[in-house]
Chains A and B, each alone.
Chain A
Amino acid sequence: MIVAKRKPLDEIKEMLKPYNKILVLGCGSCVAVCMAGGEKEAGLLSTELQMAFEMDKTLPPSGGTPPGSAKQIDTITILRQCDREYIDEVKDKLVQYDAILSVACGVGVQFTAEVLNGEKVLLPGLNTTFLGATKEPGMWVERCLACGDCILDETGGVCPITMCSKSLMNGPCGGHEKGKCEVDRNRDCGWVLIYERLKKLGKLELIKDIKLPKNYGAVKRPDKIVHEAYQVVGKEEVKK
């Protein structure tokens, strides 16, 4: 899933300053699972914002800061902000607000903005961080860099591109110590993980080959994928 983290409240408040009628738009998929932007978190954020703006109003203006104006903050959560059909369902409501604070990943924010096509301001409530898995309740860990050229078959199912902080392909650097990475001594060295996994699998010879430089051109960023079934009678073809 895509893992994200909520932006600091002050940063969000600053973004929202010019707007009075605000919608916090939650996303019910990845960011709901990682407890950053689902229905619950969207509700919590809008309550926090209401309280914070209310505080600004009650506190005497100090240091030249004007007191906050009355703001209306509502919440809607849709199943996915990366699928047009879900955005279309609420589009009529979205356009009624001055600004939409999307607590989806960067994909969701951009795609909702794309659908609204300049009709309304879209603001990001989260910092999108990585592709990860749930390691334990409340903890998510990065596991894939979406390089477009998977080599997990050669490394015992541990990705050197992701799990090695330097994405090395032919073994560890000289910075690991007691199985931990030089960048953070609490983090496992990806190459020690690969070594141990391959040893268990009895396939250590897999890392004895010299791996050629990676094809970083495998993904032509920003990339596009069209399913083969759609290539023949794809939308573009039909238009022609």
Chain B
Amino acid sequence: MSKLGEALKSGKFVITSEVGPPKGINMTSCLDEAKHFGEKVAAINVTDIQSAVMRVGSLATCIKLKERGYEPIMQMVCRDRNRLSLQSELLNAAVFGIENILCLTGDHQTLGDHPQAKGVFDLDSVQLIATAKGLMEGKDLAGNKLDGIPTFFLGGVVSPGLDPVELQIIKLEKKVRAGARFIQTQSVFESDKFRQFIDKVHSMGINIPILAGIIILKSVGMAKFMNENVAGVFVPDNLIKEMKETKDKQAKAVEIAARIIREVKPYCQGVHIMPLGWGHLVPEIIKQAGLSLTPM
């Protein structure tokens, strides 16, 4: 089992974070960001052509992280590859010893920097999880036998803030049934709403480690932008007010993130911190949240 899998199995509160690959082949800043928190988190997500903006792939970046001794989580979206290519990429990952795979739908291509691209969406996120699970059982999607069987630790995502929430939970349950072993959530800012969501998940009999998504809130402008443009993310007024009134934005960002982590901690198995370029703050957030800096 992957290190992430073992950490979750141990019952410890797990922290993961994230890096985004660059546009162009200069990996320095991406790997430097990972350096800030690489040894302090259980695993690092690598986004897959995030926001449909063309850039270095998830797999190449995962390999680079692994070479440096970090535990990568390879994100895979369904937008850019058909079932042949997706399965092949899963095998590629396994060849390089990358086991943690987070399956997502992917933002629509028209929202990215190549809006004229043809979207693929041959599989959806549930089917991708099921397909990866199938590979682990030695069979590809067409039922053909594999010579050499990969091991994966599969994850999915859920957005607790979306209406109708029942529809979110129906899909979440399908992901679990398809083979997901952990779930990452969209960014959480309101811990009481998150708790209500978790209660609903439990009442449906779904039992899976959930990592609450934590976005580092950088500015008032960012909060307003997310409220208007990012589905399922809502930054409440009191946080916007706090950001507005502070002189030290980074200190405030750390304080808010750490507070949310403390508030959601009783209801989840870990947090996934999305630093969006402020990776140097991650260790301080972990510290202020009262969590251990040695994940394993």
Contact = CB atoms under 8 A, between A and B. Distances in A.
Given A166-B121, A171-B174, A210-B174, 8 more contacts: A166-B119, A174-B159, A175-B231, A177-B162, A177-B232, A183-B110, A192-B164, A210-B178
Contacts of A210: 126-127, 130, 174, 177-178
Given A174-B157, A213-B127, A207 B170 contact: yes
Given A176-B162, A183-B111, A213 B131 contact: yes
B94 interface: no
B162 A174 contact: yes
B20 to A, nearest CB: 17
B170 A182 contact: no
Chain A contact-residue range equals 20 to 34
A195 B166 CA distance: 9
Contacts of A170: 124-127, 171, 174
A14 B72 CA distance: 55
Contact of B127 (A165, A172, A176, A212): A212
Interface residues of B, number: 39
Given A171-B167, A191-B167, A195-B164, A182 B231 contact: yes
Nearest to A170: B126
Interface of B: 78-79, 83, 104-108, 110-111, 119, 121-127, 130-131, 141, 157-159, 162-164, 166-168, 170-171, 173-174, 177-178, 186, 231-232
Contacts of B130: 210
Most buried by A among B124, B125, B126, B131: B124
**Chain A contact residues: helix, strand, loop or mixed:** loop
Nearest to B178: A210
B126 A171 contact: yes
B83 A213 contact: yes
Interface string A192-224: 100100000000100110111110100000000
A-B complex: 6 closest residue pairs judged by Cβ atoms: A171-B171, A170-B126, A173-B105, A177-B231, A174-B159, A168-B124
B48 to A, nearest CB: 14
Contact of A174 (B83, B122, B127, B186): B186
15 contacts: A166-B79, A166-B108, A166-B121, A166-B124, A169-B127, A171-B167, A171-B174, A174-B186, A177-B231, A191-B167, A195-B167, A210-B174, A210-B177, A211-B127, A213-B123
A168 B105 contact: yes
A216 B125 CA distance: 17
A140 to B, nearest CB: 21
A176 B174 CA distance: 19
A121 B183 CA distance: 59
Most buried by B among A168, A169, A171: A171
A174 B163 contact: no
Contacts of A167: 121
